[in-house]
């Protein structure tokens, strides 16, 4: 399972960082940086919550 | 078994998705007053006011995706009443039965008295209204925004971006001073002034001027008149609960929003509420009763209300534990707020403008943070909001962050 970011959509709103800062951080340029793109089994539900929280649907999970 | 969701926007859509994700395999019916599939509102006052934006609605989920989720839609058909004994939602002459109900009817803008039917005067809540505003801007409209709230400020920003004259009329002496406090309000006022928006503060609107059924100006209560081709009314919204007035669902005495518990249950069994329409006690903020008008709140609440609505009997309901968050984009600047501005003290650090960090203190805790153009910083502060004794730490971090920027 991997996290995909659509950089053309990301507006740096930071909700993903709020929900799961181990995985996401907004950088100085105002775009999200994925710090760890392969969440372990036990962390998927909160990565999922982070992905759902993005107001512009810039994040997705791939199997 | 049927789950009925009234209000086909963000909270309603998230409710439908979350019910399915929780394993609900009964019917789901989404009833909406607008003719469109659920679509997103924040872009209506931002990118969609740009020249050249296509007129078509881009829904959050396509018809095919909703079919796949097994969601039946009843669009262009506002609910008109609720029978909680017989468990039916009335849609005109039709009665739609439910086992579980989610109220997600959001809010509707207040209108200016005497503006009905006048061309060139609009609110901004729907796609159609965004198209109307954009067309007026395309024609070079002189724009007057009534009310210096977040949405109104974004509209002034869209007009200035095209080099068009924009005026904001605000009854308060300092814009947003009631919601953000006087000093941050001044900073917001300066953002407008720096962009060339004409701010008229401490003055109300006494009437509109028109010719041939079309607005030509706004008359202020100090007697001056501001010429206008486009008047956008942004004086706040009211929860869309007219259809519940005859029902036993308890509504707020002041604004008539739906009163919920911390599980988003309404006062009647089998009915929950979510999004802009709902008041809820926020346990993280000492039980403050909140009704938020924020994107993330509507998304979260829709999902939580549905999980509770479809939970098996005997399963403990989920409680909300929300830190409010919203953003707004003005003149190329991003304002972001987490937490609550209801505080004992407000401290501004850094420049009194872009780059500012404003901290709100409640007791020894950080209650809220406003940042301007600090996308990297805001969520770091979110972790401190309402944590015991977090105020000192927040002050320390804010100082470090503003100094680092110098
Ligand atoms: C122009 C604009 C810009 C915004 N920008 C931001 C932003 O930058 N950041 C942010 O955090 N938030 C922003 N918001 C707020 C955010 O969009 C709202 O909080 C969110 O839309 C609320 O979702 P909701 O589903 O609760 O209600 P709504 O989106 O209001 O949807 C309610 C739906 O219910 C329908 N309805 C009403 N009555 C009935 C009835 N009787 N029967 C059936 N259907 C009915 C309505 O037609 C509507 O479609 C903005 C809002 C607007 C309007
Ligand atoms: S929530 Fe979405 S828009 Fe915001 S930073 Fe994360 S990916 Fe980007």
CA distance B199 to B168: 5
**Could you say which of A21, A52, A55 has the minimum Cβ distance to residue B295?**
A55
CA distance B346 to B24: 46
Q: Which residues of chain B have pLDDT under 50?
A: none
Q: Name the residue at shortest CA distance from atom 4 of ligand 2.
A: A13
Pick the residue from chain A with its C-alpha nearest to B380. A18
Is B48 near chain A, with CB under 8 Å? no
Nearest-atom number in ligand 2 for the CA of A57 is 2
Mode of pairing for the β-strands spanning B333-339 and B365-372:
antiparallel
Q: List the single best residue of B11, B304, B376, B386 to mutate versus A (max A Cβ within 10 A).
A: B376
Ligand nearest to the CA of A26: 2
The topology (CATH level 3) of B332-405 is Enolase-like; domain 1 (3.30.390)
* Cβ-Cβ contacts under 8 Å for B190 (sequence gap 6 or more): B352, B353
The domain segmentation of chain A, as residue ranges, is 2-57
Is A33 near chain B, with CB under 8 Å? no
The topology (CATH level 3) of B3-108+237-309 is FAD/NAD(P)-binding domain (3.50.50)
Mode of pairing for the β-strands spanning B2-6 and B71-74:
unpaired
- Domain B3-108+237-309 matches domain B111-233 at the CATH topology level: yes
Stated pTM of the model: 0.94
Tokens of B392: 């000192």
B383/A21 CB distance under 8 A: yes
* Cβ-Cβ contacts under 8 Å for B122 (sequence gap 6 or more): B129, B132, B133, B230, B231, B232, B233
The domain segmentation of chain B, as residue ranges, is 3-108+237-309, 111-233, 332-405
**Could you say which of A17, A21, A53 has the minimum Cβ distance to residue B296?**
A53
Superfamily of domain B111-233: FAD/NAD(P)-binding domain (3.50.50.60)
pLDDT at B1: 65
pLDDT at B128: 97
Is B280 near chain A, with CB under 8 Å? no
Give A7→chain B minimum CA distance, Å. 15
**Could you say which of B299, B376, B379 has the minimum Cβ distance to residue A18?**
B379
**Could you say which of A21, A27, A30 has the minimum Cβ distance to residue B379?**
A21
Beta bridge partners of B326: B337
ipTM of the complex in this document: 0.82
pLDDT at A21: 86
E-strand ranges in B9-91 read: 27-31, 71-74, 81-83, 88-91
Phi, psi of B25 (to 5 degrees): -115, 10
CA distances from B93 to B80, B81, B86, B107, B308 (A): 9, 10, 15, 24, 30
Mutate to test the pocket of ligand 2, among A13, A31, A61 (most ligand atoms within 8 A of CB): A13
- A9-34: pLDDT as tens digits: 998 888 899 888 889 999 888 889 99
pLDDT at A42: 80
* Cβ-Cβ contacts under 8 Å for B302 (sequence gap 6 or more): B10, B11, B12, B13, B14, B15, B18, B102, B104, B274, B275
B299/A52 CB distance under 8 A: yes
Number of A–B residue contacts, CB under 8 Å:
38
B323/A18 CB distance under 8 A: yes
CA distance B377 to B231: 36
pLDDT at B405: 62
pLDDT at B406: 53
Architecture of the domain spanning A2-57: 2-Layer Sandwich (3.30)
| Cβ–Cβ < 8 Å for A35, B383 | no
Tokens of B174: 């300092």
Q: List the single best residue of A9, A16, A18, A22 to mutate versus B (max B Cβ within 10 A).
A: A18
pLDDT at B382: 94
Nearest-atom number in ligand 2 for the CA of A11 is 3
Mode of pairing for the β-strands spanning B143-146 and B230-233:
parallel
The CA B273 to ligand 2 mean position distance, Å, reads 27
Beta bridge partners of B339: B368
Is A49 near chain B, with CB under 8 Å? no
Q: List the single best residue of B41, B377, B379 to mutate versus A (max A Cβ within 10 A).
A: B379
Q: Name the residue at shortest CA distance from atom 1 of ligand 2.
A: A54
Whether A1 shows a pLDDT value over 80: the answer reads no
The CA A59 to ligand 2 mean position distance, Å, reads 7
Residues of B in contact with A30 (CB under 8 A): 334, 375-376
Give A31→chain B minimum CA distance, Å. 9
């Amino acid at each position: 399972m991997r996290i995909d970011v659509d950089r053309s959509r990301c507006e740096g709103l930071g909700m993903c960082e709020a929900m799961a800062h181990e995985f996401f951080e907004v950088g100085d340029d105002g775009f999200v940086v994925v710090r760890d793109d392969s969440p372990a089994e036990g962390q998927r539900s909160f990565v999922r919550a982070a992905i759902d929280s993005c107001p512009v649907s810039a994040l997705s999970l791939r199997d | 078994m049927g789950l009925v969701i009234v209000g086909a926007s963000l909270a309603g859509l998230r409710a439908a998705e979350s019910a399915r994700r929780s394993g609900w395999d009964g019917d789901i019916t989404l009833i909406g007053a607008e003719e469109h599939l659920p679509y997103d509102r924040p872009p209506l006052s931002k990118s969609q006011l740009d020249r050249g934006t296509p007129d078509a609605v881009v829904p959050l989920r396509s018809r095919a995706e909703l079919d796949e989720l097994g969601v039946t839609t009843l669009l262009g058909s506002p609910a008109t009443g609720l029978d909680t004994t017989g468990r039916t939602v009335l849609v005109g002459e039709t009665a739609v039965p439910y086992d579980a109900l989610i109220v997600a009817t959001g809010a509707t803008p207040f209108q200016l008295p005497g503006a009905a039917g006048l061309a060139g005067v609009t609110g901004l809540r729907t796609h159609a209204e965004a198209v109307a505003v954009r067309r007026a801007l395309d024609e070079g409209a002189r724009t007057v925004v009534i009310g210096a709230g977040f949405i109104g400020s974004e509209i002034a920003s869209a007009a200035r971006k095209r080099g068009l004259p924009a005026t904001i009329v605000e009854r308060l002496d300092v814009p947003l001073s009631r919601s953000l406090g006087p000093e941050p309000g001044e900073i917001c006022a300066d953002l407008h002034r720096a962009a060339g928006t004409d701010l008229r503060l401490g003055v109300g609107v006494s009437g509109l001027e028109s010719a041939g059924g079309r607005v030509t100006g706004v008359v202020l209560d100090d007697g001056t008149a501001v010429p206008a081709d486009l008047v956008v009314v942004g004086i706040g919204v009211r929860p869309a609960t007219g259809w519940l007035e005859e029902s036993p669902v308890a509504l707020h005495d002041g604004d008539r929003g739906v009163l919920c518990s911390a599980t988003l249950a309404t006062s009647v069994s089998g009915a929950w509420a979510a999004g802009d329409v709902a008041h809820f006690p926020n346990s993280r903020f000492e039980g403050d009763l909140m009704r938020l008008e924020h994107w993330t709140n509507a998304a979260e609440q829709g999902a939580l209300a549905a999980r509770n609505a479809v939970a098996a009997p005997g399963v403990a309901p989920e409680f909300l534990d929300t830190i409010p968050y919203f953003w707004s984009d003005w003149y190329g600047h991003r304002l972001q707020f987490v937490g609550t501005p209801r505080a004992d003290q407000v401290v501004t650090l850094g420049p009194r403008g872009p780059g500012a960090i404003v901290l709100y203190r409640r007791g020894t805790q950080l209650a809220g943070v406003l940042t301007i153009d600090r996308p990297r910083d805001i969520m770091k502060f979110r972790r401190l909001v309402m944590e015991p004794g977090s105020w000192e730490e927040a002050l320390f971090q804010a100082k470090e962050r503003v100094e680092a920027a110098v």
